Amino acid sequence: MTNRHKIVAGMREAISYAKGDLAKSRVTTYRIPDNIDVGKVRESLKMSQAEFALKFGFSLGTLRQWEQGRRHPDGAARVLLTVIKRDPGAVNTALCKEAAEAQQPKKIAAAG
């Protein structure tokens, strides 16, 4: 199958999915860990709580609650923590690119 055919097939799948026809679409799901040892993840990066919270956008208070076991990360936080655990460089790359794009001047469309 050529790349062109793969793209067309993917578009057809996306349209089927958008219309609610799940039989013609393929959805990939991932298992999100139920428990993450946040302290262990942070310590593996040799970061203080304040550094870890600041770098990855967590509230310091929330991070402390997680590490002390009083609260547990929600699904989205567990996904981010899993990525941080497996490949912290990927998060760093994404955030650096986002920061660079935010510094680019915005193009304003001319009123017509």
CATH of span 38-102: 1.10.260.40
Closest CA to 38 of 57, 54, 55, 52: 52
Distance CA 34, CA 56 (A): 20
Q: How far apart are CA 100 and CA 34, in angstroms?
A: 34
Whole-angstrom distance, CA of residue 63 vs CA of residue 52:
9
Residue 68's φ and ψ, nearest 5 degrees, are: -90, 0
Q: Locate the domains of the chain by residue range.
A: 1-30, 38-102
Distance CA 85, CA 5 (A): 37
User: Model confidence over 85-109: pLDDT tens digits?
Assistant: 999 999 999 988 888 888 887 766 6
> What mean pLDDT, rounded, does the chain reach?
88
Q: What is the pLDDT of residues 66-80, one digit of tens each?
A: 999 999 999 999 999
pLDDT of amino acid 17: 78
